[in-house]
């Protein structure tokens, strides 16, 4: 049986059992899972190894690249500004970023950026991975180009662009980068070990991701929306091994943390805006998430998605929770976070061995299921 560190309240034993089973069966190499209930960590477990050979144990402070589980962190920053009255989610993006009005985008609203409905799922201009480290280039190209479909009419997963789009709005309002705002206003206040733009002193704690065997864009029509989004640039997961990737701010994809830090931050939303004596949102500010923005087959992912403002919403097609006021997001390879406002519950799962595809896999879903099994009723 795999050696697992951390703590788990006795009533959540099914979570420990499911987590240990993933390690024992070789589904995970190294991973962490956390459950916050009423803002308190009732599960904080880690186990396995940081490397495929099993020579470096996953430690309490191990972190890794969580890919798109970064997106809820970025969304939370925008929601905080909206709650303060500094950002209007229904306002044109160009009110904050005048250059964005180019190419017929004057009516595109902030909520469209957050819900993957702006029509800017990717770049027209061919980009390399290293171009992603150039904030000005990435944002100026998006500001100049026309939408790929009528904004607000459908979702098309903004795999990389969402972070630049929302991040630039945050920068125009605050004068800070998204990673800087997150560190000052969110993670710093909560004592959460999550970073968008990782400083060199943390490199020794990073568990390098173990890439999946498949390719995100293999077999896709080169001219279709999925390929135009996911193949420009065509990411190799091993890019996350590079210091340049870690130092950059790519607020849709290069957040580094562990399950504890993800659950700590996102439990702010699950608990109505405040956790551990720190209030970041009003209860009304949290409810903005549940304003449905899209409900149908996503143009990029080809999956049925119900989307709110910055988060995926519970739906019959993707029943992530038995409760209606639940939202979620996941990252390439399998990381996952769930926020359940009805149960005041947050579940987070972070790992280094990546599964196939962009829509997660059953490891994280199984841990969510085990969590609900552990709750009364």
182-197 pLDDT, tens digit per residue, is: 999 999 999 999 999 9
- Which active-site residues does the annotation give? 68
**Nearest CA to 167 among 194, 193, 200, 143?**
143
Asked whether the CA dihedral 184, 262, 328, 267 is positive or negative, the reply is negative
pLDDT at 361: 80
Give the span between the Cα atoms of 49 and 3, in whole angstroms. 10
Query: Would you give the distance in Å from CA 352 to the centre of its chain?
Result: 15
Give the span between the Cα atoms of 255 and 73, in whole angstroms. 9
pTM equals 0.97
**Nearest CA to 90 among 296, 288, 312?**
288
pLDDT at 172: 98
Report the CATH number that the domain containing residue 336 is assigned in CATH. Answer: 3.40.710.10
Give the span between the Cα atoms of 375 and 148, in whole angstroms. 44
Give the span between the Cα atoms of 69 and 252, in whole angstroms. 8
pLDDT at 358: 63
Residue 116, phi-psi category: left (phi > 0), alpha (psi -120 to 50), beta (remainder): left
Structure tokens that stand for 99 in this block? 């250059």
Domain count, the chain: 1
Collect the ranges in the chain with pLDDT lower than 70.
Answer: 214-216, 218, 357-360
Look at the block and give the residue holding tokens 């970041």: 280
Domain that holds residue 20: 4-374
């Amino acid at each position: 049986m795999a050696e697992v560190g951390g703590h788990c309240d006795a009533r959540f034993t099914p979570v420990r059992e499911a987590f240990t089973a993933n390690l024992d069966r070789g589904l995970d190499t190294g991973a962490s899972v956390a459950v916050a209930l009423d803002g308190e960590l009732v599960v904080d477990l880690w186990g396995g190894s940081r490397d495929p050979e099993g020579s470096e144990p996953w430690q309490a402070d191990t972190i890794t690249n969580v890919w798109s589980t970064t997106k809820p962190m970025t969304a939370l920053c925008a929601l905080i500004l909206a709650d303060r009255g500094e950002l209007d989610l229904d306002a044109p993006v160009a009110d904050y970023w005048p250059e964005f009005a180019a190419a017929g985008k004057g009516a595109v609203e902030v909520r469209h950026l957050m819900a993957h409905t702006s029509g800017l799922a990717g770049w027209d201009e061919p980009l390399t991975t290293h171009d992603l480290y150039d904030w000005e280039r990435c944002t100026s190209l998006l500001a100049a180009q026309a939408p790929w479909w009528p904004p607000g009419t459908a979702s098309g997963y903004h795999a990389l662009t969402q972070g630049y789009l929302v991040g630039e709005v945050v920068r125009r309002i605050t004068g800070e980068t998204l990673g800087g705002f997150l560190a000052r206003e969110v993670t710093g206040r909560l004592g959460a070990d999550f970073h968008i733009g990782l400083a060199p002193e943390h490199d020794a704690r990073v568990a390098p991701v173990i890439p999946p065997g498949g390719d995100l864009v293999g077999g896709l029509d080169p001219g279709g929306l999925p390929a135009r989004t996911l193949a420009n640039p065509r990411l190799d997961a091993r890019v996350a091994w590079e210091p340049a990737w870690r130092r950059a701010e790519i607020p849709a994809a290069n957040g580094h943390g562990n399950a504890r830090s993800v659950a700590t931050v996102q439990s702010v939303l699950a608990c109505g805006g405040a956790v551990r004596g720190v209030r970041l949102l009003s209860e009304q500010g949290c409810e903005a998430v549940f304003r449905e923005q899209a409900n149908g087959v996503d143009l990029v992912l080809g999956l049925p998605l119900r989307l709110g403002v910055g988060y995926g919403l519970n739906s019959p097609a993707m029943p992530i929770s038995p409760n209606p006021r639940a939202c979620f997001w996941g990252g390439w390879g399998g990381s996952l976070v769930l926020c359940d406002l009805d149960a005041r519950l947050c579940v987070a799962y972070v790992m280094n061995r990546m599964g196939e595809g962009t829509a997660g896999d059953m490891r994280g879903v199984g841990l969510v299921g085990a969590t609900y099994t552990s709750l009364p009723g």
